[in-house]
Structure 1
Amino acid sequence: MKTKQPVTPWQRALALGWLGLVACLGTFAPWLPLPYPPATSDALALSTPPQLGSAMAAVHWLGTDALGRDVLTELVFGCRTLLLVSLPAAVLLTLVGIVLGSAAGYFGGVGLKMARAYWLALALWLVGTLAYTPLLGGGNAAAYLQWLLASGICVGLAVLLRLSGWGQQPAAFPVDTVVLGAAALLGSVPRLILVLTVAAILPLSFVSMPLLLGITCWPGMMRLVRAEALRIRQLPYIEAARALGLPNSRIVSRHVWPGIWPVVRAAFPFYLTLIVTTETTISFLGVGLPAETASWGHLLSSARLAPGNWWLIVFPGFSLVCTIISLRFLTQKQVFSAATPK
């Protein structure tokens, strides 16, 4: 049986070079000497193919779309959209996966105990937050104030109940069951359909878009972290830390999280690829960021207005494929590095 070979050094160097180029273009896009600003139509150059000219001439190097927007400018500012949406979303899903996965793997079904007053206040706060989520997504200032007031009431209720005998009694929380149930519930609906449904209801921006992608894509990372936390909690040094009476928070932060870091580091490029493809897909379908926002998905979507404009498919498609392949090379490198015995 033929085994997969690890990524060669030159492949990894090319991957890092391409990703570095995308990151630099996205970071410095507003200050680059581009001949045309983004989301600006040139009425005299509709569906213009790629042109050649002197360095000082304001020509459309990569052509224009059916609305006269410069493809080169849209590609460069699409890198900026990629950074502002995909990277925060990948970081968010990683953080959620680490917190929930390590809690589910380390504490299990009965290991996490807290006073009843805190559990009740936390449950009420979660219900209130879910109820205010549609209003918060629309940027309603009054909704923010009401949500803050409701959060303050939950804190005050927890303090009052903590003074009573019933509220002081500790109660175990089945964190493993709840987290796995939430992941199963989220996975029961196809991710793309879920994202499209929410995007059609709530207006998306550079804040709500990463939140939506991060909240809907965390179950896979959580399962990886949970599996590693289950393995780590059986190791002798964890048992020794418990025997010494160290608090669970210290054990998790000093011993469990450093142990799961190789798995998180290996899986992060893969989930970043997932976020990039999902963001491009929903932008291509026209339900992502506003149409005036530069995006590779919007650029690919503009080819539907002029199917004969091959440059509207080749250039953004080439950029997207190179980004996905580069992230795949990094993922494969991290997997082989994590699997190699020290």
Structure 2
Amino acid sequence: MAASAPTAGNSERVRLLGLLLKRRTVVVGLVVLGLIAALAILAPLIAPYAPNKLSVVNRLKPPGGTWLFGTDEFGRDVFSRTIYAGRLSLLVGGAVVVMAAVLGVTLGLCAGFFRRLDTPIARIIDAMMAFPDILLAIALVAALGPSLVTVIVALGIVYAPRLARIVRASTLVIRELPYVEAARALGVSTPRIMTRHVLRNLVSPILVQGTFIFAYAMLAEAGLSFLGLGVSPEVPTWGTMIAAGRQYIGQADWMTLFPGVAIVLSVLSLQMVGDGLRDVLDPRLRKDL
């Protein structure tokens, strides 16, 4: 009997993975996302030039053999800068997901499990979600000062209420289930109940919401960089590249085209993967597959 539980768990995971890979949109999203991640991670090996290498004599060169994506107003290679910028976008997205998960899950668990904390935490969550995401992020970055750490902290705070609300709603239901009541009756400690009996049943919605937050964070980081509130201007980001290309949109549209396409592909692929995870992990939606 002890050996059958892991086997059953493994077979269930394999079945869910099979259902996930049957969806063509998920496969396409994973392939595109994997390609973008590979280009970003291997940028030092793939990029033909350093991202900030100046060559004024080659400024505003159109895409061609030597310059795959063309050059910008300072003669910098747009292809090299685009794939290097992907590293920062993926870093910001991943760090924001981790921070939002830590804050959101902690707040949601406490609000849903402890009745006396529910009302104040719920009001804080509602108040934060009343503000548009980008406006709240701009306010936090402006107050703390623009930097990479500030952007991650600001976006983590902005997107934590999304997870907190989901975790709180699920915890309110799970804490009343018979197996949780049985654990209480047996004298199981509250932290153990929260982690082993409640949190373990919230992995699926947290995972699905995490993919969406990843996409939102990448898009928000590009928006902040576009407005000049992101990282240092010397660091290549898709937002700063698009902002710089606005002045040359008539004569060098490739300066905004390629970083814009990179943003669209990254966000769209994450959304497709998130939709597939939601359909597979939600038992109500899984029946339609």
**Coarse TM-score class (shorter-chain normalised):** 0.7 to 0.9
Q: Match of 2:102, as an amino acid?
A: L
1:10 — aligned with what? 24
1:272 — aligned with what? 214
Per the TM alignment, residue 321 of structure 1 is displaced from its structure 2 partner at its CA by 1.2
Report which stretch shifted further, 185-194 or 16-25: 185-194
**RMSD, aligned CA:** 1.8
- The reply to whether residue 333 of structure 1 matches residue 245 of structure 2 is no
Q: Which of the numbers 34, 41, 62 marks the counterpart of 1:27?
A: 41
1:302 — aligned with what? 244
- The reply to whether residue 75 of structure 1 matches residue 82 of structure 2 is yes
2:7 — aligned with what? none
In the TM superposition, structure 1's runs of 4+ consecutive aligned residues that sit over 4 Å from their partners are none
Q: Match of 1:42, as an amino acid?
A: S
Contact 2:97–2:210 (Cα < 8 Å) also in 1: yes
CA distance in 2, matches of 1:75, 1:21: 13
1:323 — aligned with what? 266
1:286 — aligned with what? 228
1:38-86: CA deviation from partner (whole Å, max 9, x where unpaired): 122211111111011xxxxxx2211011222211011111111112211
Q: Match of 2:259, as an amino acid?
A: P
1:187 — aligned with what? 129
Count residues with an aligned counterpart. Answer: 265
Q: Which of the numbers 30, 47, 72 marks the counterpart of 1:65?
A: 72
Contact 2:21–2:27 (Cα < 8 Å) also in 1: no
Gaps of 5+ in 1: 1-5, 53-58, 110-174
Q: Which of the numbers 45, 59, 62 marks the counterpart of 1:49?
A: 62
Map 1:66-105 → 2, pairs under 5 A: 66-105=73-112
2:52 — aligned with what? 39
1:249-298: CA deviation from partner (whole Å, max 9, x where unpaired): 01011100001111111211111111111111111111111111111111
1:100-135: CA deviation from partner (whole Å, max 9, x where unpaired): 1011111122xxxxxxxxxxxxxxxxxxxxxxxxxx
Per the TM alignment, residue 33 of structure 1 is displaced from its structure 2 partner at its CA by 4.0
Same amino acid, percent of matched pairs: 32
Per the TM alignment, residue 337 of structure 1 is displaced from its structure 2 partner at its CA by 1.0
Report which stretch shifted further, 187-196 or 320-329: 187-196
- The reply to whether residue 198 of structure 1 matches residue 130 of structure 2 is no
TM-score by length of 1: 0.73
Contact 1:7–1:332 (Cα < 8 Å) also in 2: no
Q: Which of the numbers 160, 167, 188 marks the counterpart of 1:218?
A: 160
Per the TM alignment, residue 201 of structure 1 is displaced from its structure 2 partner at its CA by 3.7
Report which stretch shifted further, 238-247 or 15-24: 15-24
CA distance in 1, matches of 2:189, 2:46: 56
CA distance in 1, matches of 2:26, 2:130: 36
**CA 1:83 to 1:34, structure 2 compared with 1: closer, same or farther past 3 Å?**
same
Larger helix proportion, structure 1 or 2?
Answer: 2
Gaps of 5+ in 2: 1-19
Report which stretch shifted further, 197-206 or 280-289: 197-206
Per the TM alignment, residue 206 of structure 1 is displaced from its structure 2 partner at its CA by 2.9
CA distance in 1, matches of 2:203, 2:48: 44
1:140-159: CA deviation from partner (whole Å, max 9, x where unpaired): xxxxxxxxxxxxxxxxxxxx
Per the TM alignment, residue 10 of structure 1 is displaced from its structure 2 partner at its CA by 2.9
TM-score by length of 2: 0.86
2:182 — aligned with what? 240
Contact 2:226–2:239 (Cα < 8 Å) also in 1: yes
- Structure of larger gyration radius: 1
